[in-house]
Amino acid sequence: MMCRTGQQQEPHEADEAESSRGAFAALLEDSAEELYENAPCGYLSTLMDGTIAKINATLLGWLGLDREAVVGRMRFTDLLTVGGRLYHETHFAPMLQMQGEISGIALEIKQSGGGRIPVLVSSSVKHGSTGEPLLIRTTVFDARQRRAYEEELLRGRKAAEEARRQSEADRARLQDALAVLQQSLLPDILPVLPGVETAASYHTASPDRLGGDFYDVFPLDGKRFGFFLGDVCGKGPQAAAVTSLTRYTLRTAALHDPDPVTALTTLNKVLHERYAAGSGDPRYCTVVFGTLEPDPDTGQVAVRIASGGHPPAIVTRADGTADFLPTPGGLLVGVLPSAQFTAATTTLAPGDTLLLYTDGITEARTGPDRTSLYGDQALLSFASDHAGKPASALIEALTALLQRFGDGLDDDTALLALGAPTAGHRTRSSR
C-alpha cells in the first residue's frame, strides 16, 4: 500500500502521469481517419444516385469485399438483400428524399460468402452551400444480437395475435350457439290470429349471455288464443332451463285449462317442486298469462289475464289514451308452495292494443350520466303517444326507443303487443 505523506510527488508517479498523457495524445493522433476506418460501425458515403463514394474498413470487413470492388462501382442498394432493396426503394429512399434523414431502419446486408448480417441503418443528406443535396451519409450498425431478440418479440406477438383470433372465433361460435338457443325459447314467427294483430320484439342486451325473457302466442281451442310474457330471475344456461320449463308448462297447462289463474297456479307448482323444493335451488319468474277471444261480429277482443309479480300490462285505446291494466296481488311464480293469483279482464275495441313488456325497458338508465331510470310513467306516456296505432307500429316505435337507450339498456327486453285491428288492419301479424 502506498502512503502519501506530503504534497511532493514521488519521481516515478510523475513519470506515470507523463506517459498516460502521452498515450492519450497518441490516441488523439489516431483521430479521425483511424476512427472512421475502424469504428465499431459501418460508414458509407454515396452520391445522390446511391453510387458508393466512400466506405470504411469495418463495413468492408462485414461485407467481405475489397475497396476497389465497391467504390465507384456499387450502389448502396447492391449491398442489400433483394427484399431489403424493395424496402429501400419503397420506403427508405422516398423518406430520405423528403425528410433529408432517416434513422434506425432494419435491413440486411449481403456478405460475399453468402451470409447476411442484420443491420440498423441511418442516413442523412449533406447539402451544399446553396442547399442543393450533395451526398448521402450512412451509418450501419451490427444488429445481430438485437435482431434475434426482436424476432423473439415478433414470434411472441404473432402467438398472441393467433391466440386473440382463436378466442374471438370461440366467442363468435359461442354467440352463435347462444343465439340459436335463445331463438328456440321464442316463437319463430307469431301465429296469424284471426281478429287480432300481433307484434313482438326481443332485444338482447349481451350477445354473450342467454337472456331470461320470454313470450309466446298460440291457439287454444279454435276461438280463443293463449299468450304469455315473462322474465326468469337470472341469466345464462340455468335461466334458459327455467324459461324452457316455464314455456312448456304454460302451454300444456293452458291446453288443459285456459283459465289464466289456473295456468299460473300450475306453473307455480311445477317450478316450486322442481327447484325450491326439489333441488333446494329456488328459481322463479314473473309472468303475465292471458287469453284472447276475438268477436268476429264486433271486431272486439275479450282479454282475460293474470299476473305473477310482473309489471302491469298497458292498454292503449283508439281515442289516444293509455292506462295500466292492474293485476293486483300476484306473487312471484315458483317461490312459495302455493300462491294466489287474481285475474283481470278488459275488452279491446278496434284500434285498442294490449302491451306486455319486461322491466328491461322501464329500468333502462337514461339521462346524461345514465343515472336515472326510464320508469313506468315514461313508458305509459310513450305508449299513449302511440295510442290508436296498430300493434306493429307501437312495437316499431318501442324498438327505436330501445335503440336510443344505447348502453343505458343493460337488461334484455321482451315486448308483445296484441291489438284489435281497425277494419283496414284485420289479421296482420308481424315480429
Partner 1 sequence: MDIARRNNVAVTGNPQGRTVVLAHGFGCDQNMWRLTLPALAEDYRLVLFDYVGCGRSDTTAFSAERYATLEGYARDVVEVSEALDLRDAVFVGHSVSAMIGVLAAAMAPERIGAHVMIAPSPHYLDDDDYRGGFSADDIDELLASLESNYLGWSAAMAPVIMGNADRPELGEELTDSFCATDPDMARVFARTTFLSDSRKDLRSVTVPTLVLECTQDVIAPREVGAFVHAAIPGSRLVTLDATGHCPHLSAPDATNTAILNFLAALS
Q: Name the residues that contact partner 1, by CB under 8 A.
A: 48-50, 75, 77, 81-87, 89-91, 93-95, 97-99, 104-108, 118, 147, 150, 153-154
Residue 143 beta carbon to partner 1: minimum distance, rounded to whole angstroms:
9
Residue 324 bridge partners (DSSP): 314
Task: Please state the closest distance from residue 249 (CB atom) to partner 1, in A.
Answer: 48
Task: Give whichever of 75 and 426 is closer to partner 1, judged by the CB atom.
Answer: 75
Task: Write down the least CB distance from residue 39 to partner 1, Å.
Answer: 23
Q: Considering the complex, what minimum distance in angstroms separates the CB of residue 170 from partner 1?
A: 20
Question: Residue 191 has what DSSP assignment?
Answer: P
Q: How far is the CA of 53 from the CAs of 22, 40, 45, 69, 422, in angstroms?
A: 35, 20, 6, 12, 93
Residue from 191, 186, 205 nearest 247 by CA: 186
Cβ closest to partner 1, residue 9 vs residue 99: 99
Tell me how far, at minimum, the Cβ of 160 lies from partner 1, in Å.
13
159 phi, psi to nearest 5 deg: -60, -40
Nearer to partner 1 by C-beta: 97 or 167? 97
Cβ distance to partner 1 smaller for residue 71 or 106:
106
Name which of 7 and 130 has its Cβ closer to partner 1: 130
Amino acid at 62: W
Output b/e per residue, 293-316; b: 16+ Cβ within 10 A: bbeeeebbbebbbbbbbbbbbbbb
Widest Cα–Cα separation across the chain = 133
Strand partners, 106: 120
* CB nearer to partner 1: pick between 124 and 266: 124
d(CA 286, CA 411): 15
- Which residues, other chains included, contact 355 with Cβ-Cβ below 8 Å and sequence gap of 6+? 313, 314, 315, 316, 383, 394, 415, 416, 417
Nearer to partner 1, 96 or 380 (CB): 96
Decide: helix, strand or coil at residue 136.
strand
Residue 71 CB, shortest distance to partner 1, in Å, is 17
| 264 burial level (CB within 10 Å; 0-12, 13-18, 19+) | buried
Q: How far is the CB of 105 from partner 1 (least distance, A)?
A: 6
